[in-house]
Chain A
Amino acid sequence: MADFAISPHDVAVHSYLENRGKHKGILAWILSTDHKRIGILYLISLFTFFSAGAVLGFLMRLEMLVPGPAGKIFDAQQYNALFTLHGVIMIFLFVIPGIPATLGNFFLPLQIGSKDVAFPRLNLLSWYLYVTGGIVILLSLFRNGLPDTGWTFYVPYSVRSGTDVTMAVFGVFILGFSSILTGLNFITTIHRMRAPGMGFFKMPLFVWALYATAWVQVIATPVLAITLLLIIIERLFSVGIFDPTKGGDPVLYQHMFWVYSHPAVYIMILPPMGVVSEIVTTFSHRSIFGYKMVAMSSLAIAFIGYLVWGHHMFVAGETQPAQFAFSLLTFLVAIPSGIKVFNWVATMYKGSIDPQPPFLYLMAFIILFSIGGLTGLVLGSLATDVHLTGTYFVVGHFHYIIFGGGVFIFFGALHYWLPKMFGRMYNIKVANWALGILFVGFNLLYFPMLLLGYEGMPRRYFSYLPQYDTLQHISMVGSWILITGLIMMMWNLIHGIFKGEKCGANPWGGTTLEWTIPSPPPPENFEEIPVITHEPYYHPEAEPSEAEPALVGK
């Protein structure tokens, strides 16, 4: 691989990784209000939970070794607990905090040229809330058993279930606070702490994505909080708000739940889209095409995302006009998403593309996300949805979007930014191989699910008809390959952090502010707060003429 040029001032005299405060050892980390350390705390805790969630998913696939019900590894109740815990961990403890809490915490202040976020102590508090929420969820294991409701906690079952739904729901409630505080912190940071000269339209697009996400976090999460609180109240006092025998309406729960949880899908996907905008310009060595449109489309997605929750409930007893409206609105999301994709592709056009691992993750993302998007169209149309809802098709679609879309870019973002965070480069060849294995494993695992769903295999069943044998087994083998790829990727990154070759301040030739300071960054980020005079993705060698039409906004 190419050697990365290192000049003496690329390496900070002191980096944030060295302890210089009054605390020692682990206390210097868990009591630190430095946004970089908090980002890493989040990163460690998130990937701990992710590993647990991945193991659970792996076990669920292993369960499909035989059709059953005889000869199964887990019985039906255990399988219910498996998919509930897998969903709760992956959604609430991994994907939703996801990129904002980890890389957002680390890079938001760096990208806007600030020394920290607006409320550093609140930032640390939100990490503690996150950990508390995670522990509370796991505590349900030791009381009446893990919840078996699925991650959506639908009433009336979540009120009647004998398992410890109360505890798990309370854990998610606490996580909601963590999410709200992070969002509130980011909005204030972006409004008040940009470097001099950095107007809103000179911010990097990752910051724009975090901004849109933060608003969704602040506006949507309280609705989930109250809905979950009502489940707890219902379980403890049976006031009857969702109980039909007392006049309550279980469908109202679904409305309240999806009013949050659909926007939450955009909490999961907007930050990865921001990362894509960063990666695509860095590795194409060109300014982003249509900067303003990409920035605005994040806000548009966040806004339209509020108006489509009803498409989760096409078969839950909606009136026909409501169904039509929600279906139409759902298709509208394709417009801002399309704007983004076309602008990314236009950025690559005539660029000098350097296919490093982050860029290859981006390519994988485009393929997987497109499959996810196209299957989404199938589910967004009323007629086909009635046939496919509640089958493996939904599971396949969802994983293509969230795992293939969001999480692949999370991995890509780690490959992009870990060298900055630790000043060391992972093994690029191993990274490429790991991605290849991940990609193959992923498609083997989830593509059969689309076919299975089409053939009528319902989701959340612990057994299946013998006719689904072949596809179930292909999917299971896919999970083995995927896990192999994951282990390889994570090992390579961790090895790179500790033992990798030193890589200097700017190994990729990025143009945003975080690349102007040493790797790993000094504790105060910037010796002198930078003054911003040009667009974030200014590549003078690629765009000699100021009249370059690709620069929008003149």
Chain B
Amino acid sequence: MKLSDAEQTIERTESHAEDHHDEMRGKMGMWLFLLTELLLFTGLFLMYSVYRYLNTADFHRAGLETHVLFGTVNTMVLLTSSLTMVLSIAAIQRGRKWLSVGFLSSTILLGLAFLVIKLFEWSLEIKEGLFPGSTVLLSKPNGEILFFGLYYTMTGLHGLHVVAGMIVLSFMLVFILRDKITPTDYIKLENAGLYWHLVDIIWIFLFPLFYLIN
């Protein structure tokens, strides 16, 4: 290695060391974590596609039985929450703390709204007898049983992720209020936002798979 190269590297790295919190580090860790979350769902998407391939007609029929209205409203709610999330980061970047707090709170509230709507949807379906192990469902062909099995598993797991996201965002809210997240150091909020978008993106794929293709 040429000496000049080495010196350059040293200078670069030292300036990094001075810059106390290496932002790339936090971001890299977060992206790796998002990758694992994505892979977690990939297993389920894989199963969905295998079973859909094996039971195409049943999956079509079962897809008609989910409630598109609930799904559509929830998609809009979640997309809006992603928007307010971005706005919250943009606000803190511009030093407008209270605006950021407002947007972040609305993100959390929209997450809550998503869950409440989901709850109504599930209870409606349970009332119709469409839940694992019910006599109504068991009398249907295998493909439909699988469809609803996957439906509850995947939307349920996604719902848990929404809850986890809301908890993380609540912490962020406290951090902003206590000035732990500032216009110069907002990497935590950015990472939390990334997580929230992941939750959103997974829903974007769940929505057509369970409500639209039929």
Q: Does A160 contact B (CB under 8 A)?
A: no
Which residue among B25, B51, B149, B157 has the maximum number of chain A CB atoms within 10 Å of its CB? B149
On whether the beta carbons of B40 and A246 are closer than 8 Å, the reply is: no
Interface string of B20-49 (1 = CB under 8 A from A): 001011001100110111011111101100
Q: Are A239 and B24 in contact (CB under 8 A)?
A: no
Contact between chains at A192 and B28 (CB < 8 Å): yes
The answer to whether B186 has its CB under 8 Å from any CB of chain A is no
Any chain A CB within 8 A of the CB of B85?
Answer: no
Q: Say if the beta carbon of B14 comes within 8 Å of chain A.
A: yes
Check if B167 is an interface residue, CB within 8 A of chain A: no
| Interface: B90 (CB within 8 A) | no
Cβ–Cβ < 8 Å partners of B132 in chain A: 237-240
Instruction: Tell me if B6 and A197 are in contact (CB < 8 A).
Output: yes
The answer to whether A241 touches B146 (Cβ under 8 A) is yes
A233 contact set on B, CB distance < 8 A: 153
Given contact pairs A188-B29, A192-B25, A247-B146, enumerate 7 new A-B contacts (beta carbons under 8 Å): A194-B13, A229-B157, A233-B153, A239-B152, A247-B141, A256-B43, A529-B17
Provide the A186-211 mask, 1 if CB < 8 A to any CB of B, else 0: 01100111111101000000000000
We find that the number of chain B residues with CB closer than 8 angstroms to chain A is 44
Chain B residue contacts of A307, Cβ below 8 A: none
A247 touches B143 (CB 8 A): yes
User: CB of B72 within 8 A of chain A?
Assistant: no
Q: Most chain-A CB neighbours within 10 Å: which of B32, B35, B145?
A: B32
**Among B1, B6, B43, which residue has the most Cβ atoms of chain A within 10 A?**
B43
Distance (whole angstroms) from the CB of B42 to the closest CB of chain A: 7
Most interface-central of A180, A226, A238, A252 (chain B CB within 10 A): A226
Complex CA–CA separation, A226 to B42 (angstroms): 9
Residues of A within 8 A of B153 (CB): 230, 233, 239, 241
Which residue of A197, A222, A225 is within 8 Å of B10 (Cβ)? Answer: A197
B116-147 Cβ-contact flags toward A at 8 Å (1 or 0): 00000000000000001100001001110110
> Do the beta carbons of A239 and B42 come within 8 Å of each other?
no
Interface presence of A185 (CB below 8 A)? yes
Are the C-beta atoms of B50 and A192 separated by less than 8 Å? Answer: no
Asked if residues A246 and B17 are in contact (CB atoms below 8 Å), the reply is no
Inter-chain CB contacts under 8 Å: number? 115
A221 at the interface (CB under 8 A from B): yes
- Verify B39–A222 contact, CB threshold 8 A: yes
In the assembled complex, the CB of A468 is this many whole angstroms from the nearest CB of chain B, namely 41
Partner of B35, one of A188, A218, A230, A239: A218
Separation of A164 and B32 alpha carbons in the complex (Å): 33
SS class, residues of chain B in contact with chain A: helix
Chain A, residue nearest B10 (CB): A196
The answer to the question of B184 belonging to the interface, with a C-beta cut-off of 8 Å to chain A, is no
Chain A 517-534, CB-CB to B under 8 Å as 1, else 0, gives: 000000000000101010
Cβ-neighbour of B1 out of A195, A248, A256, A533 (below 8 A): A533
Q: A491 contacts which chain B residues (CB < 8 A)?
A: none
Contact residues in B for A185 (Cβ distance below 8 Å): 29
Within the complex, what minimum Cβ distance (angstroms) separates A245 from chain B?
Answer: 8
Residues of A within 8 A of B33 (CB): 180, 184
Q: A240-B132, A246-B142 are in contact. Are A222 and B40 (CB under 8 A)?
A: yes
B91-117 interface with A by 8 A CB criterion: none
B55 within 8 A of A: yes
Assembly CA distance A497 to B46 (angstroms): 50
Contacts of B14 in A (CB 8 A): 196
A49: interface (CB < 8 Å): no
- Residues from chain B with a CB closer than 8 A to the CB of A118 are 25, 28-29
**CB-contact partner of B32 in A184, A195, A225, under 8 A:** A184
Q: Does B150 contact A (CB under 8 A)?
A: yes
CB distance from B50 to the nearest CB of A (A): 6
B9 proximal to A (CB < 8 A): yes
Q: Which 10 A-B pairs have the closest CB atoms?
A: A247-B142, A239-B149, A226-B43, A222-B39, A196-B10, A196-B13, A222-B40, A239-B132, A184-B32, A222-B36
Q: Decide if A180 touches B36 in the complex (CB within 8 Å).
A: yes
Closest to A194 in B: B13
- A222 near B43: Cβ-Cβ < 8 Å: yes
The CA-CA distance from A438 to B157 in the complex, in Å, is 47
A residues near B133, Cβ cutoff 8 Å: 237-238
List chain B positions with a Cβ less than 8 A from chain A.
Answer: 1, 6, 9-10, 12-14, 17, 22, 24-25, 28-29, 32-33, 35-37, 39-44, 46-47, 50-51, 54-55, 132-133, 138, 141-143, 145-146, 148-150, 152-153, 157
Smallest CB gap from A236: residue in B: B132
- In the complex, chain B residues whose CB is within 8 Å of the CB of A533: 1, 6
Q: Is the CB of A218 within 8 A of B43?
A: no
Give A65 to B34 CA distance when docked, in angstroms.
Answer: 52
**Nearest A-chain residue to B16, judged by Cβ:** A192
Cβ 8 A contact of A246, one of B42, B145, B152: B145
Report the bound CA distance from A218 to B54 in whole Å: 30
Indicate whether A219 reaches chain B with its CB closer than 8 angstroms: yes
Contact residue among A197, A219, A246, A531 (Cβ-Cβ distance under 8 Å from B146): A246
Residue of A nearest to B147 (CB): A247
Contact of A188 among B12, B25, B37, B149 (CB under 8 A): B25
Query: Which of these, A184, A196, A227, A248, contacts B29 with CB under 8 Å?
Result: A184
Does A12 count as interface, using CB distance less than 8 angstroms? no
A293 at the interface (CB under 8 A from B): no
Chain B residues whose C-beta falls within 8 Å of the C-beta of A230 in the assembled complex:
153
A181 to B87, CA, bound (A): 30
Note all chain A residues with C-beta closer than 8 A to B149: 239-241, 246, 248
Give the nearest-CB partner of B17 in chain A.
A529
The answer to whether A488 has its CB under 8 Å from any CB of chain B is no
A222-B37, A246-B142 known; A241 and B47 CB under 8 Å? Answer: yes
A118 to B36, CA, bound (A): 18
With beta carbons under 8 angstroms apart, the residue of B6, B32, B47 that contacts A531 is: B6
The 0/1 profile, CB within 8 Å of B marked 1, for residues 237-266 of chain A is: 111110000111100100010000000000
How many Å lie between the Cα of A225 and that of B29 in the bound state? Answer: 19
Chain B residues whose C-beta falls within 8 Å of the C-beta of A219 in the assembled complex: 35-36, 39
- Residues of B within 8 Å of A180, CB to CB, are 33, 36
The answer to whether B28 and A188 have CB atoms under 8 Å apart is yes
User: Is residue A59 contacting chain B, with contact meaning CB distance below 8 A?
Assistant: no
Q: Which residues of B contact A187 (CB under 8 A)?
A: 28, 32
User: A170 on the interface (CB 8 Å rule)?
Assistant: no
